[in-house]
Amino acid sequence: MSPRLQIVYDMIPHCETVADVGCDHGYLSIALLENGVAKKVIPMDVNKGPLSKARENIQAAGFEAQADLRLSDGLAKLSGDEADVICICGMGGALIARIIRAGLQVAKSASCLVIEPQSEYYELRSFLMDAGFVIDDEDLISEENKIYPIIKLHYESDNAKRLSYSSAQLEYGPVIIEKAPQLLHTLLDKNESEYSSIINKLENGGVPSTEATMARCQELKEKLEIITQIKNSL
């Protein structure tokens, strides 16, 4: 498995059944079965090509009897309480939010979810918080010069145990900030440089000052404030 999938794998507890949404070539499912982390897997994909390749790989590994492959748009073909763990990885944050929103009751029924968004982190964590999910663990991974979070969470039915995250935590992750790995420092420096450069171009680069450019500058300045806040707390 890739380092990214290894972190996902490490976050999955031993359980009966894991549903792998967007299963790609089925490598995660195979590893879970090979090492006895799961007794059964439900690899799922919206496209026939990856699902067919996953089927070939799972058959070659000798786990056909323990795998129930399904052509599915998100969680559409998964029932509530059917999977102990649901993995949704390698997609944009907006798409992951759409998948969870469309199958919310199924997502809530799992003991935990492990997700790996590749964009829209603030919006995704905001949606999850509002929907009653609590973040249990997080990590960062660098792949192809981009840094992604991997998030383990569960639905909390007890309102008193739900958490309210700050803007900084929604943007960079409460557990990631607490752990403060080296990749977080790298990400903060990268984003700080990028945002400052864009602001400079918008304000001093001859770009016409419009309502849209002013709003963009304000948005980026708020992001810079969050970065400063996190750096001061580390």
Which tokens sit at 172? 């960079």
Q: Check pLDDT > 80 for residue 206.
A: no
Q: What is the pLDDT of residue 24?
A: 87
Confidence class for position 7, pLDDT limits 50, 70, 90: very high
Tell me what the mean pLDDT of segment 126-139 comes to: 98
Q: Which burial class, exposed, middle or buried, applies to 48 when counting CB atoms under 10 A from its CB (0-12, 13-18, 19+)?
A: exposed
Q: Are the C-beta atoms of 76 and 19 separated by less than 8 Å?
A: no
The candidate with the shortest Cα–Cα distance to 153, out of 171, 170, 132, is 132
The model carries a pTM of: 0.94
Rounded distance between C-alpha atoms, residue 5 and residue 45, angstroms? 16
**Cα 192 to Cα 59, 185, 187, 189, 220, distances in angstroms:** 47, 10, 8, 5, 9
What's the chain's average pLDDT? 96
Domain spanning 3-174, CATH class: alpha beta
pLDDT at 33 over 90: yes
What pLDDT, on the 0 to 100 scale, is given for residue 1?
82
**Residue 147 reports pLDDT greater than 90:** yes
- Nearest by Cα to 88 from 71, 75, 70, 72: 75
For residue 49, give Cα distances in angstroms to 19, 22, 66, 103, 122.
18, 11, 21, 23, 31
Would the pLDDT of 197 be above 90? Answer: yes
φ, ψ (nearest 5 deg) of residue 23: -70, -15
* Percentage above 90 pLDDT, the chain: 91
d(CA 168, CA 177): 9
